[in-house]
Amino acid sequence: MSIDVAAARADTVGTGHVTHLDNAGSSLMPRTVADTVVAHLRREEQIGGYRAAAESAGRLAEVYSSLARLIGATPEEIAVLESGSSAWATAVSALPLTAPRVLLSRTEYWHNLLVLRRLADRRRLELVVLDDDASGRVDLGHLQRELDREDVGLVALTHVPMAGAQVQPAAEVGRRCRAAGATFVLDACQSVGQLPLDVGELGCDMLVGTGRKFLRGPRGTAFVHVRREVLDRLEPALRDRRSAADGSGRTEARMLESWETSVAGRLGLGRAADHALGLGLEAIQARVTALAGVLGARLAEVATVTVHGETPPGSGTVMFSVRDLPAEQVRAQLAARTINVSTAALPPPDTGSVLDPGGPRPPVAVRASVHYFNTEDEIDRLVRALRRAPPRAHRGPARGH
Ligand SMILES: Cc1ncc(COP(=O)(O)O)c(C=O)c1O
């Protein structure tokens, strides 16, 4: 089934206000997600937060089922947290990690790297950055050689990088980690909501997703999946009163949550998962990758533009630079024309800058990212704006997420 783009746009208020090409940063919520959040806040206003939460207990429980369905997990394996970074840090820090070596890809998300570096210092672990293959994806031969040493405790992979469209061979990495008995954590913050995900097929022990990007959830929402067999091994730093076990006495991933949370945000996140499932992740992926192909090709036709990364892109993000114009100025000029893009350091950015802070800084480029509700007309709008002479310089924040 293909996406009804006109219906998707009618269901997305923001498409009437902006040309939103920043879905890798923070997408536009569909109407039903925003309505869910606002309706709950109204109930909190009317009857108080605790009673409003009690009234929504059934729907809150369904949030876990929705997220579990989205990635082929069970509700007990899901915890909801407030950001992808904190979800990743909380879950990975709770792993006992008995084997001393940790493998990571060159495009691992920078915050994950900071956490790993801290863990490595405290627990005397060795971080090993895996080579890329000719396509720029993780070199599976290098991965296998490291796994064969039988001293790898953890493998960390970012499925789709913050600054690019390249999809890592996560299922193959998962298969090899499973065979070697190494714990595999997959950062799916840029893939959830635009690619079909199934934790069984991916072979991961942990998967982290954030709400506001391609999943189109509210800001301040994220989730982590922890495989049933790994849950019993977790040693979270903090356990508060709701976080112990399900009725059967078995540990639940919810032990990673803190008790206080945005209930409205959680309900919105569950709604966003249902919405994506309703459209179908295969259909979303097909539309997003086709549109990203158009975006990359049209940008490449602009004489002053350099497109980075492989074409056609494997997912929704295209990185590009404009001759003689810093990325942040391009972003600001486009924002002035109600076209939303963001900026990000080109891959492989973070392994170098985090593990070698004195090393060369990676260049920053413009990040344009499409979702299924975008249109070719919007891409043409972007291209026309880039062809015009740039207005004067503007200063603003330098880094996207
Ligand atoms: C690949 C990747 N992982 C993790 C994150 C962190 O997610 P959050 O901003 O929700 O902490 C981001 C955010 O940009 C990301 O791109």
The preferred substitution site among 27, 111, 168 for testing ligand 1, maximizing ligand atoms within 8 Å of CB, is 111
Residues β-bridged to residue 152 = 101
Reported as a single tens digit per residue, the pLDDT across 20-40 is: 999 999 999 999 999 999 999
Report the predicted TM-score, pTM, of the whole model to 2 decimal places: 0.95
pLDDT above 70 covers a percentage of the chain that reads 91
CA-closest residue to ligand 1 atom 13: 401
CA 77 to CA 125: how far, in whole Å?
A: 27
Residue 242 has a pLDDT of: 47
109 lines ligand 1 (CB under 6 A): yes
Question: Using 50, 70 and 90 to split pLDDT, how confident is the model at 389?
Answer: low
Residue 137 has a pLDDT of: 95
Mean confidence (pLDDT) of the chain:
92
**Residues 318/368, Cβ–Cβ less than 8 Å:** yes
CA-closest residue to ligand 1 atom 16: 162
189 lines ligand 1 (CB under 6 A): yes
273 lines ligand 1 (CB under 6 A): no
345 lines ligand 1 (CB under 6 A): no
3-state secondary structure the chain: CCCCHHHHHHCCHHHHCCEECECCCCCCCCHHHHHHHHHHHHHHHHHCHHHHHHHCHHHHHHHHHHHHHHHCCCHHHEEEECCHHHHHHHHHHCCCCCCCEEEECCCCCHHHHHHHHHHHHHHCCEEEECCECCCCCECHHHHHHHHHCCCEEEEEEECCCCCCCCCCCHHHHHHHHHHHCCEEEEECCCCECCECCCHHHHCCCEEEEECCCCCCCCCCCEEEEECHHHHCCCCCCCCCCCCCECCCCCECHHHHCCCCCCHHHHHHHHHHHHHHHHHCHHHHHHHHHHHHHHHHHHHHCCCCEEEECCCCCCCCEEEEEECCECHHHHHHHHHHCCEECEEEECCCCHHHHHHCCCCCCCCEEEEEECCCCCCHHHHHHHHHHHHCCCCCCCCCCCCCC
CA of 389 to the centre of ligand 1 (A): 33
The preferred substitution site among 85, 108, 215 for testing ligand 1, maximizing ligand atoms within 8 Å of CB, is 85
CA 315 to CA 166: how far, in whole Å?
A: 7
**Residues 84/187, Cβ–Cβ less than 8 Å:** yes
CA 163 to CA 285: how far, in whole Å?
A: 18
The amino acid at 124: R
Cβ-based neighbours of 244, under 8 Å, separated by 6 or more: 251, 255
Residue 251 has a pLDDT of: 82
222 lines ligand 1 (CB under 6 A): yes
CA of 84 to the centre of ligand 1 (A): 5
CA of 401 to the centre of ligand 1 (A): 6
Residue 398 has pLDDT above 50, yes or no: no
CA of 127 to the centre of ligand 1 (A): 21
The predicted model gives 334-353 an average pLDDT of 84
Residues β-bridged to residue 251 = 245
| Structural domains of the chain in order of their starting residue, each with its CATH number | 5-29+280-387 (3.90.1150.10), 32-278 (3.40.640.10)
Residue 196 has a pLDDT of: 98
Reported as a single tens digit per residue, the pLDDT across 106-147 is: 999 999 999 999 999 999 999 999 999 999 899 999 999 999
**Residues 53/398, Cβ–Cβ less than 8 Å:** no
Residue 139 has a pLDDT of: 97
159 lines ligand 1 (CB under 6 A): no
CA dist 45 → 51, 219, 267, 342, 383 (Å): 11, 20, 16, 35, 45
The predicted model gives 296-314 an average pLDDT of 95
CA of 194 to the centre of ligand 1 (A): 15
Question: Using 50, 70 and 90 to split pLDDT, how confident is the model at 253?
Answer: very high
Nearest to 157 by CA among 67, 166, 365: 166
221 lines ligand 1 (CB under 6 A): no
Question: Using 50, 70 and 90 to split pLDDT, how confident is the model at 361?
Answer: confident
Residue 304 has pLDDT above 50, yes or no: yes
CA of 349 to the centre of ligand 1 (A): 14
The predicted model gives 95-105 an average pLDDT of 93
210 lines ligand 1 (CB under 6 A): yes
187 lines ligand 1 (CB under 6 A): yes
CA of 112 to the centre of ligand 1 (A): 9
Residue 241 has a pLDDT of: 42
C-alpha atoms less than 13 angstroms from C-alpha of 345 in its C-beta half-sphere = 16
Question: Using 50, 70 and 90 to split pLDDT, how confident is the model at 249?
Answer: low
Reported as a single tens digit per residue, the pLDDT across 175-201 is: 999 999 999 999 999 999 999 999 999
**Residues 172/135, Cβ–Cβ less than 8 Å:** no
Residue 348 has a pLDDT of: 66
CA 316 to CA 372: how far, in whole Å?
A: 9
CA of 24 to the centre of ligand 1 (A): 9
CA dist 58 → 62, 86, 92, 225 (Å): 6, 26, 30, 21
Residue 347 has a pLDDT of: 76
**Residue 108, both tokens:** 């691992």
Residue 79 has a pLDDT of: 97
The preferred substitution site among 27, 82, 109 for testing ligand 1, maximizing ligand atoms within 8 Å of CB, is 109
CA of 293 to the centre of ligand 1 (A): 23
The preferred substitution site among 82, 90, 162 for testing ligand 1, maximizing ligand atoms within 8 Å of CB, is 162
Residue 356 has pLDDT above 90, yes or no: no
